[in-house]
Amino acid sequence: MERTQFSSEQLRQVVNGFQAWGDFIDARPYGSGHINDTYQVTARLAGTPVRYLLQRINHAIFKQPDRVMDNILRVTEHIRGKLAGTADASRQTLTVIPSREGRPCVRDGQGNWWRMYLFIEQAQTYDIIENERQAFEAARAFARFQNQLADLPAPRLHETIPAFHNTVSRLAALDAASSADVCGRRSEVSAELDFVEARRERCGHLLKRCERGEIPERITHNDTKINNVMLDDATGKGVCVIDLDTVMPGLALYDFGDMVRSATASAKEDERDLSKVGSRIGMFEALARGYLSEAAFLLPEEIGELVFSGQLITLTIGIRFLTDYLAGDVYFRTHRPGQNLDRCRTQFQMVRSLEAQADAMQAIVATSLPHPRG
Single out the residue of 341, 268, 265 nearest to residue 310, CA to CA: 265
pLDDT score at 178: 98
CATH dotted code for 132-368: 3.90.1200.10
pLDDT score at 299: 96
Q: Kindly list the domain boundaries of the chain, sorted by start residue.
A: 8-121, 132-368
Burial of 177 (C-beta count, 10 Å sphere; 0-12/13-18/19+): buried
Question: Cα torsion for 179, 184, 188, 193, to the nearest 10°?
Answer: -10
Residues 6+ apart with CB under 8 A from 284: 260, 264, 310, 357, 361, 364
Amino acid identity of residue 62, one-letter, is F
Q: What is the 3-state secondary structure (H, E, C) of the chain?
A: CCCCCCCHHHHHHHHCCECCCCEEEEEEECCCCCCCEEEEEEEEECCEEEEEEEEEECCCCCCCHHHHHHHHHHHHHHHHHHHCCCCCHHHCCCCECCECCCCCCEECCCCCEEEEEECCCCEECCCCCCCHHHHHHHHHHHHHHHHHHCCCCCCCCCCCCCCCCCHHHHHHHHHHHHHHCCCCCHHHHHHHHHHHHCCHHHCCHHHHHHHCCCCCCEEECCCCCHHHEEEECCCCCEEEECCCCCCEEECHHHHHHHHHHHHCECCCCCCCCHHHCCECHHHHHHHHHHHHHHCCCCCHHHHCCHHHHHHHHHHHHHHHHHHHHHHCCCCCCCCCCCHHHHHHHHHHHHHHHHHHCHHHHHHHHHHHCCCCCC
How far does Cα 223 stand from its chain's mean position? 1
Which residues of the chain are under the pLDDT cut of 70? 1-4, 32-34, 371-374
Whole-number Å distance between alpha carbons of 52 and 79: 20
Whole-number Å distance between alpha carbons of 172 and 199: 14
pLDDT score at 88: 86
CATH assignment of 8-121, given 3.40.1160.10, 3.30.200.20, 3.30.465.10, 3.40.50.620?
A: 3.30.200.20
**155-204 residue pLDDT tens:** 999 999 988 999 999 999 999 999 999 999 999 999 999 999 999 999 99
**221-268 residue pLDDT tens:** 999 999 999 999 999 999 999 999 999 999 999 999 999 999 999 999
pLDDT score at 332: 85
Contact 256, 310 (CB under 8 A): yes
Whole-number Å distance between alpha carbons of 143 and 164: 20
How far does Cα 125 stand from its chain's mean position? 13
Q: What is the value of pTM for the model shown?
A: 0.91
